[in-house]
């Protein structure tokens, strides 16, 4: 493929990233900047120039779906071979398998379910069961439900391994980082040690061990590592902001001392710190790989300028200055669109009904259902919206919801409810039981995923209770199974309901961000400075999923509690960039009357008395903006933002060139309103001189 064909449609910064000859390249790619296009075209460019051999090339990403997309895109370049494409864990498995093949030894078996393995271990050990029974949770509700304890243990082991904490160092780490657990750090340390000993005895490894064992093999066996590096010489890593320390160690072992490495990522979208992935790993890439060259993709092809402005406002609120230094702000390549809206509701029921109604009307007006997404902080916030959409017969799917309903924790909880309350027990009592379980984890910062799974189950129970107020446990079990199957069925033609975490990497023309309240976003457990910063990055991710329309909402009350909920503090940086969408535009008659009333002021301001506000020039420009908005049935800020308006007031441009130099003045605005606005600014200049 020729360079002309390969570079067609690329921007200058994209071409620079594709053609950079440096052996180590770090591409900081903002949302909607075409990073996948750049990554695949860089591979294709180097392959066609015979700088790399595809069969000796590895492309690492984080999901099988992303890997398949990369395969599909690379196939379009008609390369004579394709690289190995897969996840970190899949490649680590290849390392382990080849290592044991060379030594003709049996590779360890992979544990498919850590909770089941832990449960089997506890079942076989009277001493370990005794430890748990003597732990702080022995008199609590949690002790009745051993699967919750097992889920907590499994999660804590995963967290420790993602931070590369060895089993002998676990207790010190637990205390140093002020971690919390219903069974206590001492008990966890004993169980962790027994779990590792059991795996070694049975020649087994778990999912996290794939990275750790693969890294150990490459570090400790130099001859094997050298052979492996001879075969795999060129490495590309997508979504690098999501890597953790074990993955970095594995990668360093793979590339060796003379790496040919290209990584792509966005530190502003680092939202998996619970898995050990922090923005610092990407921000400090040149410290890990000292000869690295940075390239930046800042043009956003996805979202309207108004949505990009919102994203930049959130980004400027980040406390870490390196997030601005590495990548800076993004800018929109598209023309203007509609202003994002912020909706306020009295309660969550009204929020669900009104948003479902808005979606229904949007579909009626011609928008396809699969072009719309509703995004929330957690899965438990989505069932009420799903119910409201169902009542209007709007097709929809909860992305990933079936995984929660079918996970071991939720299934074990359902089994527990049947054992405690009986099949004919009241569903109201089951909800109380679930509430008691949730309370057990309210003060535990490390149990967020467990708590969210239980809250999601509770929301499904409430949904079924509204369906049938007399429903018992037997009926709920049937409803639960049907709901799991329904959620699991893919409705590609339906509205997508998903969480902020699951939305990353996706996009839709219309996006609703719901439940933007303190305690939800930011989450009530995000109490440390670093956790609070991650909540900002989550909002940044949510905003940048939207292409054309963005609706944000919050409710004053949520659930059965009468406690007042305040709008999220994270909204402060964008207050001036959104409109309160509940307000309707004025009628045409009102607009014409307003324009006639102020016509003389706008046409001949130097002959009129300027407004007596704090700044009469700004007040006059605001008046002009209002008349334009009313005449065109638009919102004020869709004509001109406050920041740009203030810049115009400060400079009072004399001509088109001066007007175009003002930040925020687009070519479209200049062509549409430029001459009229210049007449006004010239009049204002004369008026201000006559006043002095």
- Residue 342 main-chain phi, psi, to 5 deg: -120, 120
Q: 524: which 2 tokens?
A: 């009530």
CA distance 56 to 232: 5
Residues comprising the chain, all counted: 692
CA distance 552 to 514: 6
What 3-state class would DSSP assign to 609?
coil
Report the run of H or E that residue 496 belongs to, with start and end. strand 495-499
Contact between 655 and 681 (Cβ < 8 Å): no
CA distance 663 to 420: 65
User: Which residue matches tokens 């493929």?
Assistant: 1
**Gyration radius of the chain over CA positions:** 29
* Of 283, 279, 278, the residue nearest 296 (C-alpha): 283
Q: 502: which 2 tokens?
A: 């699951």
Known binding-site residues equal 29-36
Known binding-site residues for ATP equal 29-36
Q: 369: which 2 tokens?
A: 């259902």
Q: 67: which 2 tokens?
A: 């890997």
Contact between 578 and 641 (Cβ < 8 Å): no
To 5 degrees, how large is the angle CA 649–CA 652–CA 655? 140
Contact between 137 and 183 (Cβ < 8 Å): yes
Q: What share of the chain is helix, strand, coil (3-state, %, to 5)?
A: 60, 10, 30
Neighbours of 107 (CB within 10 A): 16
Question: Under the phi-then-psi rule, with left for phi > 0, alpha for psi from -120 to 50, and beta for the rest, what region is 682?
Answer: alpha
Q: 235: which 2 tokens?
A: 């490495």
- Residue 290 main-chain phi, psi, to 5 deg: -55, -25
Contacts by 199-202 with C-beta closer than 8 Å and gap 24+? 199/108, 199/111, 199/117, 202/109
């Amino acid at each position: 493929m020729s360079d002309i064909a390969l570079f067609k449609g690329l921007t200058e910064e994209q071409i620079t990233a594709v053609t950079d000859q440096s052996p180590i390249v770090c591409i900081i790619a903002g949302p909607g900047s075409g990073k996948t296009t750049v990554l695949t075209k860089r591979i294709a460019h180097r392959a066609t120039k015979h700088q790399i051999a595809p069969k000796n090339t590895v492309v690492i990403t984080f999901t099988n779906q992303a890997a398949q997309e990369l395969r599909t895109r690379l196939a379009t370049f008609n390369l004579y071979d394709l690289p190995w494409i897969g996840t970190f864990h899949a490649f680590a498995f290849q390392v382990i398998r080849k290592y044991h093949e060379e030594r003709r030894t049996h590779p360890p078996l992979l544990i498919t379910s850590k909770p089941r393995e832990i449960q089997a271990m506890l079942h076989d050990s009277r001493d370990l069961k005794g430890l748990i029974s003597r732990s702080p949770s022995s008199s609590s509700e949690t002790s009745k439900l051993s699967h919750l304890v097992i889920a907590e243990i499994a999660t804590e082991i995963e967290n420790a391994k993602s931070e590369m904490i060895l089993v002998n160092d676990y207790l010190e780490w637990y205390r140093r980082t002020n971690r919390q657990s219903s069974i206590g750090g001492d008990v966890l340390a004993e169980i962790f040690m027994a779990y590792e000993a059991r795996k070694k005895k049975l020649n087994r490894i778990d999912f996290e061990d794939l990275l750790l064992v693969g890294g150990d093999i490459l570090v400790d066996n130099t001859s094997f590592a050298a052979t492996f590096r001879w075969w795999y010489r060129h490495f590309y890593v997508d979504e690098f902001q999501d890597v953790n320390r074990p993955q970095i160690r594995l990668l360093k072992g793979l590339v060796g001392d003379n790496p040919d490495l290209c990584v792509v990522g966005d530190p502003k979208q680092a939202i998996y710190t619970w898995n050990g992935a922090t923005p610092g790993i990407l921000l400090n890439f040149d410290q890990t790989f000292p000869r690295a060259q940075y390239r930046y993709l800042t043009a956003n092809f996805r979202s309207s300028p108004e949505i990009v402005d919102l994203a930049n406002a959130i980004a400027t609120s980040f406390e870490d200055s390196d997030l601005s230094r590495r990548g800076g702000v993004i800018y929109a390549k598209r023309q203007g669109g509609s202003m994002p809206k912020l909706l306020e509701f009295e309660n969550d029921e009204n929020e669900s009904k009104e948003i479902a109604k808005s979606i229904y009307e949007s579909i009626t007006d011609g928008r396809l259902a699969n072009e719309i997404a509703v995004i929330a902080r957690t899965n438990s916030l989505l069932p009420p919206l799903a119910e409201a959409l169902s009542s209007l017969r709007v097709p929809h799917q909860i992305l990933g919801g079936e995984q929660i309903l079918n996970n071991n924790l939720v299934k074990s909880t359902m089994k527990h409810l049947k054992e405690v309350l009986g099949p004919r027990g009241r569903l109201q009592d089951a909800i109380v039981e679930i509430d008691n379980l949730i309370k057990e984890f309210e003060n535990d910062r490390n149990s967020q995923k467990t708590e969210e799974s239980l809250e999601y189950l509770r929301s499904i129970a409430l949904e079924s209770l509204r369906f049938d107020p007399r429903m018992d446990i037997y009926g709920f079990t049937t409803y639960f199974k049907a709901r799991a199957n329904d959620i699991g069925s893919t409705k590609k033609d339906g509205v997508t309901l998903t969480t902020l975490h699951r939305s990353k990497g996706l996009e839709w023309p219309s996006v609703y961000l719901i439940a933007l309240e303190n305690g939800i976003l930011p989450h009530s457990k995000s109490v440390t400075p670093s956790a609070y910063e991650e909540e900002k990055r989550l909002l940044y991710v949510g905003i940048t999923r939207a292409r054309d329309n963005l609706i944000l909402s919050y409710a004053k009350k949520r659930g059965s509690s009468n406690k007042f909920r305040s709008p999220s503090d994270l909204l402060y940086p964008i207050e001036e960039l959104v409109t309160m969408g509940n307000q309707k535009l004025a009628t045409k008659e009102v607009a014409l009357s307003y324009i006639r009333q102020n016509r003389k002021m706008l046409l001949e301001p130097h002959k009129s008395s300027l407004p007596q506000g704090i700044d009469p020039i700004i007040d006059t420009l605001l008046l002009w903006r209002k008349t334009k908005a009313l005449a065109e049935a638009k919102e004020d800020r869709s004509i001109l933002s406050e920041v740009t308006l203030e810049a115009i007031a400060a400079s009072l441009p004399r001509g088109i060139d001066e007007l175009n130099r003002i930040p925020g003045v687009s070519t479209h605005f200049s062509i549409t309103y430029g001459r009229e606005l210049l007449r006004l600014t010239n009049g204002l200049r004369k008026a201000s001189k006559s006043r002095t």
